[in-house]
Amino acid sequence: MTNTSKRIILTGATGLIGTKLFAALRERGYELVIFSRNPVKARATLPGAAEYIAWSPTEGGPWATAIDGAHAVIHLAGAPIAQGLLGVRWTPEYKQEILNSRVIGTRGIVNAIAAAERRPAVLVNASAIGYYGYRDDTPLDESSPPGRDFVAEVCIAWEREASRAEEYGVRTALIRTGIVLDPERGALAQLLLPFRLRTGGPIMPGTQYYSWIHPDDEIGILLLALEDERVRGPINATAPNPQTNRTFCETLGEVLGSPSWLPVPEFTLRIALGEMADLVTRGQRVLPKRALELGYSFRYPTLKPALQDLLK
Ligand SMILES: NC(=O)c1ccc[n+]([C@@H]2O[C@H](COP(=O)([O-])OP(=O)(O)OC[C@H]3O[C@@H](n4cnc5c(N)ncnc54)[C@H](OP(=O)(O)O)[C@@H]3O)[C@@H](O)[C@H]2O)c1
């Protein structure tokens, strides 16, 4: 079967990762069906898909039949976990939305897979390195045990729902993504502002690890999971050289020609962000063991060239 005859269902296509994946899949000749909460907006921002279907994180719906006969489902959708960095705090209601959008959303996708007469060959499901919880500098790989904090609990429940697809004979890949570096959106965009004002510096304590990944490698690992039948279960999508926050900020300062000198005290972030401050003041040192075992060759294994490329 050529890629042009392979239909892929993509949720979260309008997001940071989804937008880039959409372009990469189109380039490879796949036929794309976008599931979105706002299909009209999705059509306007991402022209070129075969269909735009209304979807929301529910246990089932009219969208479910579109999965019948698809070659693959790539499920990225979920309420932003770090939205609070833009002013939305982790209230109990928002935490519930983070959880439900993933657990109920993934349950609905797997229910539709189970009900399909012609089931997809593969489900590629998003997850996050938050699965491992906040840790010290111990290197972590796919066999490391999960953490016990809020994000870890979300990832455990999310992966559990996705893994049910295996019961229906569908190969399931769980993409444990690290911090995707994008100068426009997400963590890097937040870090850039103080550096551009020449007030950049490490987030204390500075020893916490940031397991980052260049968007090209994030897409590379998603495509690997889609196309290589050996990928099954968890696979870390992080560069092979995670850095402490201090080194990350020094490298960012070097690339921008703006010194990393003004430390950000942990307590100010706690006041501003509450529990969500953990996302930036704590971290985990995650290695892409499975991707390397499978022979994946990173375009950006080290931080400085990755930042130079993104900020050029
Ligand atoms: N970016 C990272 O650094 C990173 C790191 C680790 C894990 N991940 C995970 O990878 C996935 C994709 O990441 P991303 O950064 O591309 O995400 P994103 O930019 O926040 O976009 C995710 C998409 O999910 C949909 N969405 C938003 N809120 C939703 C809600 N309440 N319920 C259901 N769907 C909702 C939206 O699509 P529509 O509006 O079209 O429905 C949105 O475009 C996410 O699940 C994320 O947790 C990302």
**Mind listing the pLDDT tens digit for each residue in 188-235?**
998 899 999 999 999 999 999 999 999 999 999 999 999 999 999 999
Give the pair of three-digit tokens for residue 46: 């991402």
Give, using CA atoms, the residue closest to atom 31 of ligand 1: 79
Give the atom of ligand 1 at the shortest distance from the alpha carbon of 14: 43
> Tokens 């019961």 label which residue?
167
Q: Which distant-in-sequence residues (6+ apart) come within 8 Å of 270 by Cβ?
A: 277, 281
pLDDT at 172 over 60: yes
51 CB within 6 A, ligand 1 = no
CA proximity to 273, closest of 206, 209, 203: 203
Q: Which CATH number applies to 3-180+214-238?
A: 3.40.50.720
Confidence of residue 114 (pLDDT cuts 50, 70, 90): very high
Task: Kindly report the protein residue whose alpha carbon is nearest to atom 27 of ligand 1.
Answer: 79
Domain boundaries, the chain: 3-180+214-238
177 lines ligand 1 (CB under 6 A): yes
Measured by CA distance, the residue closest to atom 7 of ligand 1 is: 128
Whether 112 contacts 60, CB under 8 Å: yes
Whether pLDDT at 187 is above 90 = no
Mean pLDDT, the chain, whole residue set? 96
| pLDDT for position 85 | 57
DSSP 3-state of 295 = coil
**Model pLDDT, residue 106:** 98
* Percent of the chain surpassing pLDDT 70: 98
User: 275: CA distance to ligand 1 center in Å?
Assistant: 20
Q: Whose CA is nearest to atom 28 of ligand 1?
A: 79
User: Does residue 84 surpass a pLDDT of 60?
Assistant: no
- pLDDT given for residue 246 in this prediction: 97
Q: Is 39 in the pocket of ligand 1 (CB under 6 A)?
A: no
pLDDT tens by residue, 264-311: 999 998 888 888 889 999 999 999 999 999 999 999 999 999 999 999
17 lines ligand 1 (CB under 6 A): yes
| d(C-alpha 187, C-alpha 181), whole Å | 7
The CA distance from 140 to 155, in Å, is 16
CA distance linking residue 182 with residue 160, whole number of Å: 29
Phi, psi of 187 (to 5 degrees): -60, -45
Residue 86 has pLDDT above 70, yes or no: no
Task: Tell me which H or E stretch contains 32.
Answer: strand 31-36
pLDDT at res. 60: 95
Per-residue pLDDT averaged across 167-185, rounded?
97
